[in-house]
Structure 1
Amino acid sequence: MAPTTTTKTGQPFDRAQLDQLLRRRMFMAQSFEIYGGVAGLFDYGPPLCALQANFVDFWRKFFVIEEGMLEVEPTILTPHEVLKTSGHVDKFSDWCTKDPKTGEIFRADHLVEEVLEARLKGDLEARGQAVLVPGDGEEAEPKKKKKIKAKATAVKLEDAERDEYSNILAQIDNYDGPKLGELMKKYKIKNPTTNGDLLDPVAFNLMFQTSIGPSSQSVGYMRPETAQGQFLNFAKLLDFNNQQMPFASASIGKSFRNEISPRAGLLRVREFLMAEIEHYVDPEGGKQHHRFEEVANIELELLDRDVQLSGHTNTTRMKIGDAVSKKIVDNETLGYFLARIQEFLKRIGVDQTKIRFRQHMANEMAHYATDCWDAELLTSYGWIECVGCADRSAYDLSVHAKATGTPLLVRELLKEPRRINEYVVDLDKKKFGPKFKKDGKAVQEAVEALTQEMREILSLDLKEKGEIEVPVSGVGDGKVTLGKDLVNIEKKERVEHMREYVPNVIEPSFGVGRILYALMEHNFWTREGDEARGVISFPAIVAPTKVLLCPLSNHEDFKPIVRRLGQKLRTLGVSNRVDDSGASIGKRYARNDELGTALGITVDFQSVKDKTLTLRDRDTTTQVRASEEEILKAIKSLCEGVESWEEVSARLPKFEGQQEVETKE
């Protein structure tokens, strides 16, 4: 169940207060609000735009530059054929259920989850306990939209029933549509607002369809991810990289998903920014990573699929090196990126007590993935998937190569020729076509797709029985008999001077908006005695505004100093703003603490005399005083994450002058 989360100071987290702050200070606004708004669409205001820009800038430094990645920007509009080949047209869906009387539509897994959680909450309340469920304090839907929420009723459950609910919730992501339908019938789950019956869940494709060109005959989609554009450019990227493997591409851009019932503010929206990496690796080497030893001792909270399937959500804290060696995490490259993801989230200010890595279960795994872990962040809405890290194997490059006839592979000149013994299939194509007619191509592809292990078995059958049976989907009863007159399988040796292979892909995929929202929740708190006004403790590296310039008053002598400081800070790449209003220093700092402004400079009469300045830290409100040169050097160091405030305040003289005034305000 969604927990009662706390702030970094141990206070109960107040989502409504944060939401009010975000809207009042224009971090965000409902899109098209004066027209009634549209669910799942939000406009970013100046602070959130700046926060996002700083996030993207640091993401590029941390991943693209540090790892030597090749950044590309594929188009958003994507032709039908591309997404048909990738599997998105057929498989990129969620399960939805409908009330036939009211027409209301619900996402089936979310509805089952909310109803069962509400019943568990009612059980706890009946036992004299209290707990939040998703929806408590949830933001209002746009105008004219009726808010839907499962309500808890204080009723005790039997122990077995309570255990059943907990078991289902632990593996809710593993259920497909038919299973969700069974759960809805078994537990009598109905429309929460009308108690009306619901139809069986059906698949709803999440892509926005459009047409390309004036004829409307060329079907296209708004891309649901940036990955496909990267895969289609693989051959060009490999050539740009001088045919060197491994390497990675990266892309940052908007993606679109037509969410069934978008709620939870910025966490479930229809248009969002993604930052994705496609790391291409040779599968023959066990998917090792040359920098894995650098991260091997980093500890992660892991929730593997076996624990979830047992009906539990207990995590295990483990070094990533141990997790890979024990095959809990499939390979080094996947493990390397899990550790790097955690370090990145730590640097931008994610609370490290509110992060876990959850492994996907079989039924929830994307159609292209062989292993996948989500970095989930704990919020007042519960655990939210914010970064996915999937081993996509060779799926994407293989299907696009097959569909287009374009070789999307690596050719590696071997230092020493390799002698390879393998079972080779020879078909008599003159007899093959007339025998199978329209099914000939399907039979031929099935035979050629046989693994080496299967070819060895069938070669023995062919010698002993004179014929073999080959499974062929969609032909006859699913099996085809082939005699010696049509096929021959024997072991042959070939010498290989050039090795060809399709790379496997490890993909870290960041949902930027979700991370930013979790970051705001994790860093929101209030000062004792001033609970009405919030503080957002963004690290200086991503803070929307790094420095507030605060002249003591509107005295003319302060203005040239403030202008000079602003220009010098901009030259250093440090964002800053001036607050020279008539309010007291304390009030000016307090209202900028709400915006997450990391540092503050006060310009006073002493500054005019000796060019010294005070530098204030937002979180502690402590101040130091030093020369302009030393203060600017400290700011640059803090904003780049080179030094902490504790280190800066230890080496620069403390200043107490404005502290009392500020506290009183």
Structure 2
Amino acid sequence: MLLSSASRALAAAKPRSPEPFAAAATAVLLRRQLAAGMAAAPASSASAAGNREAFRVAVTNTLERRLFYVPSFKIYGGVAGLYDYGPPGCAVKANVLAFWRQHFVLEEGMLEVDCPCVTPEVVLKASGHVDKFTDLMVKDEKTGTCYRADHLLKDFCKDKLEKDNTLSPEKTAEFNHVLAVLDDLSAEQLGAKIKEYGIVAPDTKNPLSDPYPFNLMFQTSIGPSGLSPGYMRPETAQGIFVNFKDLYYYNGNKLPFAAAQIGQAFRNEISPRQGLLRVREFTLAEIEHFVDPEDKSHPKFRDVSDLEFLMFPREQQLTGKSAMKLNIGQAVSEGTVNNETLGYFIGRVYLFLTQLGIDKDRLRFRQHLPNEMAHYAADCWDAEIECSFGWIECVGIADRSAYDLRAHSDKSGVALEAHEKFAEPREVEKLVITPSKKELGLAFKGNQRMVLEALEAMSETEALNMKSALESKGEVEFKVCTLGKDVTIKKSMVSINMEKKKEHQRKFTPSVIEPSFGIGRIIYCLFEHCFYQRPGKAEDEQLNVFGFPPLVAPIKCTVFPLVKIEKFEVVAKKISKALTAAGISHIIDMTGNTIGKRYARTDEIGVPLAITVDNTTSVTVRDRDSKDQIRVEVDEVASVVKEVTDGQSTWADIMWRYPAHTASAAEEEEASET
């Protein structure tokens, strides 16, 4: 369940120094140089920030001009945080989602569901969203304009660190500390810092109100009476949890199994920014993998155990060290990653993202710090991708224990449990935690439920320690993460006992391993990772290219008659028909534009292959990135294109099998005109 935060980006990065852009012979080198120029730079480097900004402007201008996406309702001035995908953007998104289904749903045998976006209040009350899905907001006291409080404080501190060369070591340490603990600051602490630093409204310089919580969900009502409140879902996971009983039955009452859902989610962001990275309506792809809490091994873990990639364990973060390459098998065996199933999904997410086209050197898996972890979570990691905005959380992979199913069981009265039948009855000793709702209600009133949930979610070790303390002292201090503070638990408030029972079967609430994918964030980072520029014919001319892998390219192929004559157009139409029959998306361009201009136009939307009809029996096939060309017979060309775009062969494989093509005088004349 994705939520980005300032401290995550900050805890993160030991920034790299930018390298200058330079012309290069290959697209790969160009992309790497561009990436280095826009990567996070040392705080003192204003030029690096300028490089990142210039790179971002080049990318976003190209994306909007070529209609990958545009602001929604643009003719009416637009609405912040809402975007429309145009034709190439829709195609990229569809290809990413199709690969997600292939990579996860099909290969892992998952059960896919499709649940409504409108969710009754009772469901989101049980999950905690109604009470806790909030950000702290401040208002311009004169205009009423709203801002997210932690963003204002974060921007102030980062601006000081990046641009103020007169900062003392003490102030530098102070600002870094504020950024590191930003997620932990209460409304009062945030307000105090905003006043201490003299932070005002960015647009008007007016004073700001004290911070107060704002629920991010869009509220609505179900039915004409308005008596049945609901919300637009802030995530897709709850639809899976409430269907657990039926899905478990559908799966033959067997664990483990996973359910998956792709769908729209909605969050009423206070001050959306950063384009597709923080929006009010977005696509999530979420997996809930249900597993026995006593056996979190995974039968396919060996398939990923040898993978090595950048990981950022909490120990590295807390000691100020950088992310480092770790073997996922070793990380699990040493306990850095809590269990095999969590490690398996981390490995599978790595393969998914890198096969899409994300640069493996700008992808890392960062472990949540203790202050980021929910009290019920066993372990959480974020797949973070570096782009011009810094390190962006794009996938969350969490072991959420049994919290969600228990919460819905308690609220609905329906047992969301699994069972394991024993061949012979067993005498078992069970820990029984029995909170006294009456005593908790008298002591904590409106906070009773959060204290109750925290007590019931205790591990056996925590519960036995509490039992010992209560028996010796009569009371104990107990941290309730959802309250953000310690409370005093007295002996009368909870009973903790080990009881022996004979059982014919074991009933239990499954644990949940949850990979949650922010599709829009992944796509935006993919756009940046695939974008590069190369020199044009004119002096100082730079041509934009999206180097999408064929897997996600919006259009796989273009067909161009070299010149506008009937015999070439007939061949072009024949090839187009064969490509359509093979299921290959393509463009046929019969315009009289020069071939150089047509190549440049399709390179800019990331088309990997171009077929130029310059003969009635054979044609040339051009690779976008290398610009190399081969000659292929007309009757073979569709199968060659399909072979490359389906991933059966690489361009290098194809180059060995077909003769290289040298541009003819006519082509050279055409190209020179560009």
- What TM-score bracket applies, with the shorter chain setting the length? 0.7 to 0.9
**Higher alpha-carbon deviation: 322-331 or 416-425:** 416-425
Output the CA distance in 2 between the equivalents of 1:412 and 1:257: 39
Output the CA distance in 2 between the equivalents of 1:330 and 1:425: 25
1:542-563: CA deviations, max 9, x gaps? Answer: 1000000111223222333323
Output the CA distance in 1 between the equivalents of 2:361 and 2:124: 38
* Distance change in 2, residues 1:460/1:297 (3 Å): closer
Deviation at 1:481, TM superposition (A): 4.3
1:165 alignment partner in structure 2: 175
Deviation at 1:346, TM superposition (A): 0.7
2:490 alignment partner in structure 1: 479
Is 1:623 aligned with 2:664? no
2:327 alignment partner in structure 1: 319
Output the CA distance in 2 between the equivalents of 1:359 and 1:451: 21
| 1:555 maps to amino acid | I
1:395 alignment partner in structure 2: 403
* Distance change in 2, residues 1:469/1:163 (3 Å): closer
* Distance change in 2, residues 1:458/1:158 (3 Å): closer
| 1:358 maps to amino acid | R
* Distance change in 2, residues 1:199/1:492 (3 Å): closer
3-state SS, counterpart of residue 188 of structure 1: coil
Determine which of 223, 226, 237 is the counterpart of 2:233: 223
| 2:355 maps to amino acid | R
Determine which of 161, 168, 189 is the counterpart of 2:199: 189
Output the CA distance in 2 between the equivalents of 1:456 and 1:368: 17
2:161 alignment partner in structure 1: 120
1:79 alignment partner in structure 2: 120
1:378 alignment partner in structure 2: 386
**Higher alpha-carbon deviation: 272-281 or 167-176:** 167-176
2:31 alignment partner in structure 1: 8
TM-score by length of 1: 0.84
Determine which of 486, 511, 526 is the counterpart of 1:504: 511
| 2:86 maps to amino acid | G
* Distance change in 2, residues 1:185/1:325 (3 Å): farther
Output the CA distance in 1 between the equivalents of 2:233 and 2:375: 17
* Distance change in 2, residues 1:185/1:599 (3 Å): same
| 2:176 maps to amino acid | S
Output the CA distance in 2 between the equivalents of 1:278 and 1:651: 45
3-state SS, counterpart of residue 575 of structure 2: helix
Deviation at 1:351, TM superposition (A): 1.5
3-state SS, counterpart of residue 294 of structure 2: helix
> Identity of counterpart residues, as a percentage?
46
Output the CA distance in 2 between the equivalents of 1:87 and 1:426: 21
* Distance change in 2, residues 1:580/1:102 (3 Å): same
| 1:54 maps to amino acid | N
Deviation at 1:96, TM superposition (A): 1.8
1:188-233: CA deviations, max 9, x gaps? Answer: 3333344443333222111000111000111100000000001111
Determine which of 297, 310, 321 is the counterpart of 1:288: 297
Is 1:528 aligned with 2:535? yes
Output the CA distance in 1 between the equivalents of 2:488 and 2:332: 43
1:23-80: CA deviations, max 9, x gaps? Answer: 2111112111111111111111101001101111111111111111111001100000
Output the CA distance in 1 between the equivalents of 2:469 and 2:376: 34
Output the CA distance in 2 between the equivalents of 1:219 and 1:246: 35
Aligned residues: 616
**Higher alpha-carbon deviation: 632-641 or 242-251:** 632-641
| 1:351 maps to amino acid | D
| 1:495 maps to amino acid | K
Output the CA distance in 2 between the equivalents of 1:106 and 1:374: 26
Is 1:591 aligned with 2:611? no
* Distance change in 2, residues 1:637/1:459 (3 Å): closer
1:136 alignment partner in structure 2: none
3-state SS, counterpart of residue 284 of structure 1: coil
Output the CA distance in 2 between the equivalents of 1:92 and 1:426: 28
1:111-159: CA deviations, max 9, x gaps? Answer: 2221111112223xx4xxxxxxxxxxxxxxxxxxxxxxxxxxxxx1112
* Distance change in 2, residues 1:313/1:176 (3 Å): farther
* Distance change in 2, residues 1:307/1:187 (3 Å): farther
3-state SS, counterpart of residue 361 of structure 2: coil
1:359 alignment partner in structure 2: 367
3-state SS, counterpart of residue 373 of structure 1: strand
| 2:285 maps to amino acid | A
1:371-398: CA deviations, max 9, x gaps? Answer: 2211111111111111111111111111
Determine which of 632, 646, 654 is the counterpart of 2:638: 632
1:338-366: CA deviations, max 9, x gaps? Answer: 11111111111111221111222233335
Say which one has the larger Rg: 1
* Distance change in 2, residues 1:425/1:524 (3 Å): closer
1:495 alignment partner in structure 2: 502
**Contact 1:537-1:598 within 8 A present in 2 as well:** yes
**Contact 1:274-1:510 within 8 A present in 2 as well:** yes
* Distance change in 2, residues 1:481/1:356 (3 Å): closer
Output the CA distance in 2 between the equivalents of 1:300 and 1:447: 35
Is 1:95 aligned with 2:136? yes
Output the CA distance in 2 between the equivalents of 1:454 and 1:29: 52
3-state SS, counterpart of residue 176 of structure 2: helix
1:381-425: CA deviations, max 9, x gaps? Answer: 111111111111111111101111111111121234322134679
Q: Which residues of 2 match residues 542-557 of structure 1 at below 5 A? A: 542-557=552-567
Determine which of 267, 278, 301 is the counterpart of 2:310: 301
1:438-468: CA deviations, max 9, x gaps? Answer: 979999x899959867887999999x99x98
Output the CA distance in 1 between the equivalents of 2:532 and 2:454: 64
- What residue ranges of structure 1 are gaps of 5+ in the alignment? 127-155
Output the CA distance in 2 between the equivalents of 1:349 and 1:110: 30
Is 1:203 aligned with 2:197? no
Alpha-carbon RMSD across the aligned residues, in angstroms, is 3.5
Output the CA distance in 2 between the equivalents of 1:28 and 1:461: 59
Is 1:331 aligned with 2:350? no
**Higher alpha-carbon deviation: 106-115 or 367-376:** 367-376
Output the CA distance in 2 between the equivalents of 1:583 and 1:319: 52
Deviation at 1:533, TM superposition (A): 2.9
3-state SS, counterpart of residue 654 of structure 1: coil
Output the CA distance in 1 between the equivalents of 2:265 and 2:454: 39
TM-score by length of 2: 0.83
Q: Which residues of 2 match residues 419-498 of structure 1 at below 5 A? A: 419-422=427-430, 479=490, 481=492, 493-498=500-505
| 1:250 maps to amino acid | A
